[in-house]
Amino acid sequence: MTEIKGHIDPIRRPGELGIHSVDHFHFVVPNLKDAQNFYSEFGLEVSERKNRLALGTRGSPHVWGFVGEGPRKKHQHVSFGAFEDDIESFAARLQDMRIPRLDPPTDIDSNGLWFRDHDGNLVEIAVKPKTSPNEKSVFTQISAGPGERGAPLRSAMRRTYPRRLAHVLMFTTDVTKAVEFYTRVLGLRLSDHSGDGIAFLHGIHGSDHHMIAFARSNAPGLHHFSWDVGSVDEIGAGAMHMLGKGYDRGWGLGRHVLGSNLFHYVRDPWGSYSEYSADIDYVPADCDWTCGDHHPEDSFYAWGPNVPADFVHNYEA
Ligand SMILES: [Fe+2]
């Protein structure tokens, strides 16, 4: 008997050059103990690797981020994953565009392609497994039937453990230049933007609505890391757990417009954020997403509490 299967999203857009994933981020903070505590309580797997912390998620061997020690919180680099048979084409593209190749930082073992972006940020493209999702991530909302209880008992609430890194939002001095650089050099695509204030980019080989986004500031910097969870209850449980541990500043619960994800942001010890995110829009490899330029009012959130006064302050500036 012929088995009828549902639609399976392709994991590669043929004939086009583009990175497939944000492989990991790297930044430094003044005190690794603070980072260890914050990210462990947030629900990440934190381990020590030489002189830095590696941030993972339960059930995955992947390292989504590294935290080193430095005089103040500062972005170091983002590493993007590419398919093996694309890496020579990326090297040729860098050469054609006269973007100088750099050696990796002295304390990082890498055979990737290193260069600087429009803001002077260090960027790596390296051959890595595709860690961006190949289909829309599962979102669960259980609604009790008649005669049944829907809510979990408070005493039985479980902790929240994010499934994966969802995206990184960076500050940039020039959003238009950021979009130009990351689309032309890395092969990302613009999903949506609001003038030259904020822009969201997705990968061409199937990814969330955004794997990286840029917001205008007077200096480069990291605004937030977003971590995917599977339900509103997980967002709420994560936020409550962090509140109980003293991480009482943040923003949420709300729903974004661009990307559509439900969110709660928890402020980290350095004034940036980690986001619990659920049900973000997905752009399959064979989908040409219709990009829009949205009025600022329609670009930030559909509903949620008032935005904290310093939510978009760049503490790296
Ligand atoms: Fe986000």
Task: Kindly give the distance from the C-alpha atom of residue 223 to the centroid of ligand 1, in angstroms, as a whole number.
Answer: 9
From ligand 1's centre to the CA of 253, what distance in Å?
A: 13
Q: How far is the CA of 17 from the centre of ligand 1 (A)?
A: 25
pLDDT of residue 1: 43
How many whole angstroms from 164 Cα to the centroid of ligand 1? 13
> Has residue 4 got a pLDDT over 60?
no
Average pLDDT, the chain: 95
Distance (angstroms) between ligand 1 centre and the Cα of 119 equals: 21
Q: Cα(232) to centroid of ligand 1, in Å?
A: 15
**pLDDT tens by residue, 9-43:** 678 999 999 999 999 999 999 999 999 999 999 99
CA 202 – CA 191 distance, rounded (Å)? 6
Q: What is the pLDDT of residue 7?
A: 62
Percent of all residues in the chain with a pLDDT value above 70, rounded to a whole number: 97
Secondary structure (DSSP) of the chain: -PPP------S--TT-----EEEEEEEEES-HHHHHHHHHHHT-EEEEETTEEEEE-TT-----EEEEE-SS-EEEEEEEEE-GGGHHHHHHHHHHTT---BPPPTT----SEEEE-TTS-EEEEEE----S-SSPPP-----PPTTS--SPPGGGPPPP---EEEEEEEEES-HHHHHHHHHHTT--EEEEEETTTEEEEE-TTSEES-SEEEEE-SS-EEEEEEEE-S-HHHHHHHHHHHHHTT---EEEEEEESSS--EEEEEE-TTS-EEEEEES--EE-TT-----EE--GGGTSEEE-SPPPTTTT--TT-
pLDDT digits (tens, 9 = 90+) for 51-100: 999 999 999 999 999 999 999 999 999 999 999 999 999 999 999 999 99
pTM of the predicted model, to two decimals? 0.95
Q: Please report the pLDDT score of residue 6 as a whole number.
A: 63
Distance in Å, CA 95 to ligand 1 centroid: 33
pLDDT tens digits, 120-162: 999 999 999 999 999 999 999 889 999 999 998 989 899 999 9
Q: Cα of 261 to ligand 1 centre, how many Å?
A: 8
* pLDDT band at 314; cut points 50, 70, 90: very high
Distance 11 CA to ligand 1 centre (A): 23
How many Å lie between the centroid of ligand 1 and the Cα of residue 22? 14
Q: Separation of 212 CA from ligand 1 center, angstroms? A: 9
**Tokens encoding 259:** 């990307």
How far apart are the CA of 141 and the centre of ligand 1, in A?
Answer: 21
Tens of pLDDT, residue by residue over 185-200, are 999 999 999 999 999 9
